[in-house]
Amino acid sequence: MTAFRFTTAGESHGPGLVAIVEGMPAGLELEQEALNRDMARRQLGHGRGGRMRIETDSAEVRSGVRHGRTLGSPIAMLVANRDYANWEERMNPWPVEGFEPDEVHLPRPGHADLVGSWKYGHTDIRNVLERASARETAARVAAGAVARGFLTALGVDVRSHVLQIASVRAPEREDLEPADFDGVDEDPVRCLDPEASKAMVAEINRLRKANESLGGSFEVIAFGLVPGLGSHISWEDRLDGRLAGAVASIQAVKGVAIGEAWDVAGRPGSEAHDEIFWSEERGYYRETNRAGGLEGGMTTGEPLRVRAAIKPISTLTKPLRSVDTATHEPAQALRERTDSAVVPAAGVVAEAMVCLALARAYREKFGGDHIDDVRGAIAAYKARIDWRR
């Protein structure tokens, strides 16, 4: 069996982005509408910038799917950059006769610009910023939509919502079910609390007028997971480490927590763990989920909860102080077309990354060349551990 993995390629203003997913079983039904629905969801949220009015993202499948079913071979998808028409001379893969691009020498604090130019020997910072841009996440969402289709076929439902934007926090909710997320994408900031949503929109408007960008936090929840995904055997197989790495890899994410991590750090042990119970009707169960559905690097069968903090994005409409890398003179950082708040969209990207990490865990544990093989292996596993959910 081919190991499950994915990769992306492409630059922000280049011809397009590419996602390749390997290791999906054959026979999995995928829906073009579902794939493009996730692509559109990544563009949601009050505070997005002008790029969202240019791009209407869709993913064009180039291989690995025939008549709506996976073939078991690599799945390649292309996400075209519509804005490339305005950048064709500057971002053409080949030299353009008579055109000499203006180099960028004004690195942004908080961005990959300066260190990337050191590391890769570029004098033109555009050679760094184009790939470092969060535009790359469009390809991740395309790959994640394939992973989501796989998980959906196994009864797994992955959702997200915004917890905080700048100083405004939504009330905590620990009893969420999939139905609670119906309509979340219609909310302007993808928040489940209407009053908090209104306050978040007002905060975005206030700080945007002050030429500021805003950060915040979001949560991804996966329902319907079997226990035992991941492993305690080795560090690289611990699922909490994989999830933290996957979500922290999203541009501007600076912190990841599993369950109530930051809260339980200040509690005594008796108030930090999830006590274990058993009944004839339910089998083993918990009355709390402070661990966020993970113990010892493995899923417990409870909902998986991953939270992340995202910093304000580093491109400001009123640029910060920087240095011109060509002259070493003080200068204002580069100002490009930008968003003011990306927290709602970041939650959608994190859904994709969680889906990809979970798909890998399911493929490693249950194998199977065909989707029916996977379902059969899961059924046999549930019977062996007498799991009654």
pLDDT at 384: 95
pLDDT at 152: 98
Tens digit of each residue's pLDDT (9 = 90 or more) over 118-163: 999 999 999 999 999 999 999 999 999 999 999 999 999 999 999 9
| pLDDT of 335 | 84
pTM above 0.85, yes or no: yes
Return d(Cα 11, Cα 333) in angstroms, integer.
Answer: 21
User: Using CB atoms within 10 A of its CB, is residue 275 exposed (0-12), middle (13-18) or buried (19+)?
Assistant: exposed
In the prediction, which pLDDT does 336 show? 77
Integer-rounded Cα radius of gyration of the chain: 22
* Positions of the chain with pLDDT lower than 50, given as ranges: none
Domains in the chain, ordered, with CATH?
5-385 (3.60.150.10)
Each residue's pLDDT tens digit, 278-329: 999 889 999 999 999 999 999 999 999 999 999 999 988 889 999 999 999 9
Give me 19's structure tokens: 């996602």
CA–CA dist 17, 365 (Å, integer): 31
- Classify residue 34 by its DSSP letter: H
| pLDDT score, position 387 | 85
Burial class (CB in 10 A: 0-12, 13-18, 19+), 151: buried
Task: Give residue for tokens 């240019």.
Answer: 54
Alpha carbons 165 and 216: distance in angstroms, whole number: 4
- Residue 35: how many CA atoms within 13 Å on its side-chain side? 22
State the pLDDT at residue 50.
Answer: 55
pLDDT reported for residue 53: 55
Provide the pairing of β-strand 216-223 with 304-310.
Answer: antiparallel
Question: Rounded CA gap, 332 and 262, in Å?
Answer: 37
Relative to beta strand 294-295, strand 298-299 is antiparallel
pLDDT for the residue numbered 45: 86
Return the pLDDT at 1.
Answer: 56
